[in-house]
Amino acid sequence: MLGTKKVNKKKILKNKLKTVTRSLFYTKDLKKGEKINEENIKSIRPGIGLNPQNFFKIIGKKLKKNVKKNTPVKKIHI
């Protein structure tokens, strides 16, 4: 019978949000101790890294780890 199966809307929306939202990514390979600047990060999809609202908060911070180009920015890196 149609429409008898329960659908978990929260789970579906949670997966969709990752593809719709943006997050910060590194644009260059960076080494431990380097400072983050406007040229090193950009806001792109998918939303698996730090929210772009944190852009100005992380500018000038030093990295704790080496990071590769096109890696999402995470709090553990800063």
- Asked whether 55 and 75 are in contact (CB, 8 A), the reply is no
Q: What is the pTM of this model?
A: 0.80
Task: Report the amino acid identity of residue 45.
Answer: R
pLDDT tens digits, 15-51 = 777 778 899 999 999 999 999 999 999 999 988 889 9
**pLDDT bucket at 7, cuts 50 / 70 / 90:** confident
Sketch out the chain's domains with CATH numbers. Answer: 22-77 (3.90.1210.10)
- DSSP string spanning 8-60? -HHHHHHHHHHHHS-EEEESS-B-TTPBP-TTTEEEESS--S--GGGHHHHTT
